[in-house]
Structures are given as C-alpha cells and as structure tokens.
Chains A and B, each alone.
Chain A
C-alpha cells in the first residue's frame, strides 16, 4: 500500500484525477490521458492488487487500495477486474486472466436497475453465444474481456466474453462525469467461459460493494482535504474563511462522518475476511459512504465558492464523480431495501 501512496505523488495526482475525464474540448490537462492511463494501469496491476502467485488478497488490504484510488479519483477497470479475479480464484481458473488483463462488468440494462438483480440475457441453445444489452459499463473500450452478468431461465449466470469482437458494439455515454461509461450490445457474442451463478454474483457483489465504499471514503477525504486547504488560504472579511465557526464546524462535522464511514467500511472488510456473510454490512457501509460522499463533495464546492465551479478546479471533479460512484453498486435506497430482510434475519438469529 505504501508503494501506491508513493506512486500517487503530488505531481502525478492532478493528472490522475483527469486521466479519464473527457470533455469534448480537449485541453492540455486531458490531451495525454491515454498515456497516463496506461502507465497507471501498469502500476496498479502489481502485487498490491494481484499477487503473482495467485493468492487471494484480504478485503482489508483491497479497501486500502480502493481508498487510495478514490482519493486521487483514479478511474479504470481495476475494481471490475478485481471482481473477475475473485470469481476466477474461487473456481481455480485464474489462468483465464493473466496479470495485466482487464475486465469490465456488464450488469445493468438501464440505470434504474439494482445491480443485485441483473438484466436478462439470452443464451443460445448451444450455450456458446449470448445476446444482451447493457448500459453503464465502465471502460468498455479499454478492457480485454467483458464479464456479462445476466438473468436466464436457469437463473443468474456469469459469462466471460471477449471485448474486441465484431459481435460486441460500444457506444459511449454522455454523462455528468464525462468519463468512460459505455452502452454495450452483445449480438451472438461467443462465451469464453461460464463462470458462475446467482450465488456467486451475490457474494461478489458484497465484496465489490465494500471496495466501492472504500473508494467513496477515499474520495470524500480528498474532497474534504481540498476544502480545508482552501478554507485556510481564502480570506474574506479580514481572515481566512476557515476561521469562521460555521465553516470550521461544518468541516469538522464532516470529518466525523467520513471517519464513521471509514470505520464501518473497514469493519465490513474484516467480516468478509473472517468468513462472516458480508452482505448486510456491505450494503450498510456502502449506503453510508455514498451519502457521505455526496454531502462532502457538495459542501467542498460551497467552501470553494465560485472558484470551485471552474473547469480547472478539481473540487468540481469530485462533485461530478460522487454522483455516479454513489449509485454504482446500487443507490443507498436500494441498498437499504436489500438490507432490510438481512437485518430481520440478524434480529431473529439474535433472539434465538
């Protein structure tokens, strides 16, 4: 983890924040993003995230990585690739994904859907090809494989497919984050391997949610840090605005909420590492972290005033990304709906 912290130094961080930020008007800050993305990807798929011997990393280590990624707004296929790696490790088929190979998850048909309930896919009778439509597939244009999660008459199934194939068509979304989100059409796409079912997906989603919560905690902390730094330097009415209690106390209160989300997230990772069913704590920590990220990134802009809205100010990047990342593996409302029967079960267990 220290290696990553050193890698994302003060010089690289501003470039990383914008490496997958694509306004149509290409600016100096975005012109060389492909090169930076490639360099960062090479650095990320090292022993911190994918040990060469194929050993499974602890969730506690992975959320530390996710926090660092969130802090620098690093986007890319790493978090999706980790989901695929986890799945392949569980089925002892890691050879399908050599180090450096990347995967994007294709789960939803539209943005309203809860990823816990994947959209339909059609499997050919031969079981060799699939048809499906998916939206909000991150970095689909960059990756080597797609992991298509879909509902079939036989239940939820997970298919690994090639990305660079004539039966796979991509269309980039125009979105708030100006990022790399794609609509993907699978039209008779060959299946490289069938990798799992609904149970696998529920387990994978739980740990993916904990990592996503870590990412959001990292984002929140970095946005808060930007606001605190600005509040110390920006002077109005004869003093730094951070000396005004309404600013200082609000930033302090947000510090407490970030810490709370961080501890919940780390506790959830510990549960997952201990082999405790993490679905409930995963939903709860992600819902909490998502709300904190929205609140912090919004207030960071309030502290910055109009300067934070400028295109060249990174505070607005955190605000843009928080809207998307907070919904990525289910909105807080969806997560809490999902968590309700799990809470009921926990209460029943406690009674008995």
Chain B
C-alpha cells in the first residue's frame, strides 16, 4: 500500500475498490481463477469497460483521450487495486502503461485521437512487439525490417512472446528501417494493425497464466500515419517507454498480495507461532514493505517529472527477485497444498500460491531482465562499467 495518500487519492482508491467489489465483478474474477479450464486464459473482462466508462482505466491521461487528467500515482492505484482484487491485469499494463504511454509520449495529435480513446475505453487491448526469436535483452539487434513501399513501408519479420497479441487490435512494433553501423540508429516504432491479413498470430502455451503470441509480419502495409515518433529514431522513444515499464507497480502489488495471504495463512494454521517460520515471514514482511517504498518512490519521481533510471532499476530488480523468492517461500510455509491449482478443491487461497509460483520466473525476465537491471545500476549508478 502507498504510504500517506492525500484525501483525494484515498477517495479515488475507495471508489475503484467499490467497483471491483461489486458482485458481478467478483463472480467473473472467481470464474477466472477456479473455473477457467486449463488451456484458456482470461480475455478482455467487462470490468475493463466499466473502468473505462469512468475514465479510470487510463486515469492519468487527458480527458480528451479518455482519461481524467489524473496523476500517474492514481494510475498506479488502479493497477494495485486490480491486483489486490485478483483481476487479471496483464492487458491493462500492456495496453495502458506501455503502448498507450508510448503513443501519449511520442504520437502525433492525430494518432493520439485515433488510438488512445479506444485503449482507455477498455474496449480493446494493445500488444508489445519488441522481442524476436533471436533478440531479447539485446533489442537493438532486431531483425524485423520495414521495406520502403511507395509512400510507406511493408513490414517483414517475426516477433516473439507478444502477450495478448491474439486479442489485440494494435501492436507497438520495433523494426529496422535503415541499416546502420550504429546499431541504435535506424530503428523505427510502428503502430501495427494486428487484425491485418498480413499479420499472423500464433498463441503458444507456456508456464505462465497467459499465452505468448508468435507474430509473423508478412508484408503488412504501413504509412507515415503509423510511425510513432521519428523514422530511424525509435530507440530513444523505446527507451523512454521501457523506463516507465520498469516502474513495476504490478509486480510489487503482487508481492504484497502474496505476502498478505501467506502471512494470513501462517497465522490461521499456527505456523506463525513456530519460530522457524515466524523468522522468515518477518524477514519477508520487511522486504515486501521495502519493495513497495522503492517502487512508489519511483511513481512520485515520475509524477514530479524527475524519473530516475537507476532508482527504477533498483526497484524493479529488488521487487521481482523478492517476488520470485516469495513464491518459493510460500511452498515452504504452506507445504504441498501450495502446489494445487485453483481448480483443485483442496487448493489453498484458490490456488494463489501455485499460480504466482509459476509466474515468478517471468517477472525477472520481463520488462528488462534482472541482469539488465544490475547492468544499469552498475553502469549508470556506480559508474563501474
């Protein structure tokens, strides 16, 4: 939880909480946890539309684009409340915090009017098309190319691990427009219509709760209207987008959720009275609170117009490594019952521990790996590299 909210911020949190506590929302969320057959993932939930109608989904965006002229802190409150109420939140993060933020940051007025209200309404989602089969952390080595075609381009290549791409209308895609000796030059960001016949999305199953999309771009036609920012100069925009992506409120909110449920379980079952468990739970409590403080500090930095990449990297590294460890600790404290999926009638906490244990390895990979975070801290923070 954020320390020291203003009265307005607290009122906003209460309003969001009120919506998420409504019976229809609770029922649908419970279905997602307990009744969704294996092999299905939550699609675009009605609650997104309900948040969108109120202007809360992208509350930090200007009203003319579907927001409420709010702060990023308010947006962080929405994300935290979604997670606290166990609403699947990935589509929200990808759509609003990454792709939407990119458009807000670098889009033309026409692009903003065309794209942002649709995203803010909760009627559609957007996906990120950065990684490729051979390109992960070293993103500047990407192979997807945009070939000139009259007054525009045709896009060719393969993008990997693009979550929610199978239900999204828009993909934010990084592609090479110019071959260059300077590898950060010549990359352009495009807004790609994913429903185009020249785009194929193959969802692939994985350890996580939601699928990867393998996206094949086979000559999809794009014009200047689809370029986000300047041609050949996408690297800077991309880095700004990635900077915000590293303020991982979603991860830290999951750490809080997991810890609270774990400590509650330990108290209820008597584990908390056993010193060997109490010691580790207390240590985790301090670390979860520290992760929250580190992350919310970055939220305030962002709202004050003073984002700090090193502080973000510290928060992201610390929070996600902790979150992964929490999954393992939950197994230790709860025992084998923690390995049961929410569909199993014997599952504890509706399978929360099983679910977050599986999600753990993705957290230290997505939004910049732990190794990249350490590289940023070592290089920009400590000036060692």
Contact = CB atoms under 8 A, between A and B. Distances in A.
Interface in A196-253: 235-237, 244, 246-247
A247 B137 CA distance: 14
B361 A23 contact: no
B289 interface: no
A173 B276 contact: no
Contacts of B346: 110-111, 135, 173, 183
Interface in B121-163: 131, 134-138, 141, 160-161
Interface stretch (B20-28, B217-225, B332-340): B332-340
Interface stretch (A89-97, A278-286, A308-316): A308-316
Contact of A112 (B137, B212, B335, B358): B335
Contacts of B324: 298
Interface stretch (A124-132, A151-159, A264-272, A299-307): A299-307
Interface in A44-71: none
Contacts of A326: 331
Interface residues on B, range: 35 or more
Interface stretch (A4-12, A34-42, A330-338): A330-338
A326 B366 CA distance: 27
B137 A324 contact: no
B136 A174 contact: no
B335 A175 contact: no
B360 to A, nearest CB: 8
Contact of B374 (A246, A309, A324): A246
Contacts of B138: 236-237
Contact of B339 (A302, A311, A312, A324): A324
A311 B205 CA distance: 5
A298 B371 CA distance: 15
B357 interface: yes
A320 B354 CA distance: 10
Interface string A146-174: 00000000000000000000000000011
B344 A173 contact: yes
A174 B341 contact: yes
Interface string A311-352: 110001001100110111001110011000000000000000
A306 B358 contact: no
B38 A176 contact: no
A250 B59 CA distance: 43
B236 interface: no
Interface string B203-230: 0111110001000000000000000000
B361 A294 contact: no
Contacts of B141: 236-237
Given A24-B37, A176-B358, A237-B138, A112 B328 contact: no
Interface string B69-84: 0000000000000000
A112 B337 contact: yes
A298 B206 contact: no
Contacts of B160: 306
Contacts of B274: 337
B112 to A, nearest CB: 31
Interface residues of A, number: 46
B302 interface: no
Given A246-B374, A336-B276, A337-B276, A331 B339 contact: no
Given A174-B343, A302-B361, A305-B369, A23 B39 contact: yes
Nearest to B208: A309
Nearest to A136: B336
Contacts of B344: 173-175
B334 A111 contact: yes
A190 interface: no
B152 to A, nearest CB: 31
Nearest to B280: A333
Contacts of A327: 331-332, 335-336, 339
A90 B370 CA distance: 52
Contacts of B276: 333, 336-337
B359 to A, nearest CB: 10
Contact of A25 (B38, B134, B343, B371): B38
A287 to B, nearest CB: 11
A255 B78 CA distance: 44
B328 A110 contact: no
B277 interface: yes
B6 interface: no
Most chain A Cβ neighbours within 10 Å, of B161, B332, B335, B346:
B335
Nearest to A306: B161
Contacts of A135: 336, 346
A113 interface: yes
B361 A319 contact: yes
Contacts of B336: 108, 110-112, 135-136, 324, 327-328
Given A25-B39, A112-B269, A175-B340, A294 B207 contact: no
Interface string A12-30: 0000000000011100000
Nearest to B334: A112
Contacts of A333: 276-277, 332-333
A135 B339 CA distance: 12
Nearest to B163: A306
A177 interface: yes
B231 to A, nearest CB: 25
B165 interface: no
Most chain B Cβ neighbours within 10 Å, of A309, A316, A328:
A309
Contacts of A183: 346
B5 interface: no
B269 A316 contact: no
Given A173-B346, A175-B341, A308-B361, 9 more contacts: A24-B37, A175-B344, A176-B354, A302-B370, A305-B365, A306-B136, A306-B365, A309-B208, A320-B207
19 contacts: A23-B205, A24-B39, A110-B335, A111-B337, A112-B269, A176-B358, A177-B339, A236-B136, A246-B371, A298-B360, A302-B361, A309-B208, A320-B358, A327-B335, A328-B336, A333-B276, A333-B277, A333-B332, A336-B276
Which 4 residue pairs are nearest across A and B when measured between Cβ atoms?
Answer: A111-B336, A111-B337, A311-B205, A112-B335
